[in-house]
Amino acid sequence: MPKQYAINQSPLYKLVGLRQLELCLGIDLERLDKLLKDGSYRTWVNDNDRAIQHPLGWLAQVHSKIAHYLAKIETPDYVYHKKGRSHVKNASEHTGYHLVAKTDISNYYPSITRAMLKSMFVKKFKCALDVAGILADICTYQRTHLATGSGVSGYLAFWASKDLFDAVYELSRARGCVFTLYVDDLTISGNAASKKLLTEVRAIVKRNGLKTKETKSKTFAAHATKMVTGVVLKGNESLLSNKRHKEIADNRIAIANTGNANIKATLQKSLKGRLMAAKQIIDSNEIKTVTSSDLIYS
């Protein structure tokens, strides 16, 4: 098979028998309870007060296999969270002097329920009902919702919400606007990317059983400086945010002030990552008024 293929070429497509499912995932359904046993996830709350559920052991391996299959399915051109693209490329689609509207989906992965996934496997992947139910069980945390710390969740969330995103794309195109999606971030740019259009987009999300964040639903004037997926857009340029500049500067100061070799090594690794991320943003500009070395290393 080619690197990318249509959904109907996926090993997950039209699984209508339990034996087909076992062969596809390399599992024995008689051991399904063991696969989904208590303790199959490590859970914790991160620094942003977000609950994380991370699959372990055998379940992690099965999630990885499903994610591998899903990653190979072609997705619409408006999708930017895929191989060969990035949050920087996503932002760069909206450079220029025009209106920008953006919003994101609140509590995205936990909002994708087992019932939604089962319906997706039936309607999008044409699986039998019993197969779809088992797949939904395997892919959800305690058979309730998508796990926030699994590599399969991003792919599944997209396919479960594809009708929603397609509707936003069609609406944007009808208004002469550009629409891009980066995981749960929806961005629209163009002369019609107004508050009215943003209200219509949020209504589409709501009709599909999800919610948008009020604080992250914003519109920007044509000549305003805009923040899109972590990148500052100023006219035709993509720039590093003040926050990222400060993090780099603080990182340098911390390295200069520590005498502990282990701490210094950790800080240097962190700085390297921040510099690489910053370089990616600056180097994305077609016409550069500053270079990455001017901005970062001087």
The C-alpha atoms of residue 216 and residue 204 are separated, in whole angstroms, by 16
Instruction: Please tell me whether residues 119 and 210 are part of one structural domain.
Output: yes
| Secondary structure in 3-state letters for 109-174 | HHHCEHHHHHHHHHHCCCCCHHHHHHHHHHHEECCCEECCCCCCHHHHHHHHHHHHHHHHHHHHHH
Same domain for 122 and 173, yes or no, is: yes
- Structural domain of 141: 7-227
pTM of the model as a whole: 0.89
Tokens 């780099």 correspond to 248
Is 256 found in the same domain as 108?
no
Query: Do both 125 and 174 map to the same domain?
Result: yes
Assess if residue 249 is contained within a domain.
Answer: yes
For the stretch 48-80, pLDDT in tens is 899 999 999 999 999 999 999 999 999 999 999
Domain count, the chain: 2
Please give the structure tokens belonging to residue 295: 């901005």
**Would you write out the chain's pLDDT as a tens digit for each of its 298 residues?**
458 999 999 999 999 999 999 999 999 999 999 999 989 999 999 988 999 999 999 999 999 999 999 999 999 999 999 988 999 999 999 999 999 999 999 999 999 999 999 999 999 999 999 999 999 999 999 999 999 999 999 999 999 999 999 999 999 999 999 999 999 999 999 999 999 999 999 999 999 999 999 999 999 999 999 999 999 999 999 999 898 899 999 999 999 999 889 999 999 999 998 999 899 898 888 765 555 555 544 3
Tell me: do 187 and 94 sit in the same domain.
yes
Residues 131 and 84 in one domain: yes
Of 198, 227, 256, which one is at a domain's C-terminal end?
A: 227
In angstroms, the Cα distances linking 48 to 33, 44, 52, 147, 231 are 33, 11, 10, 16, 20
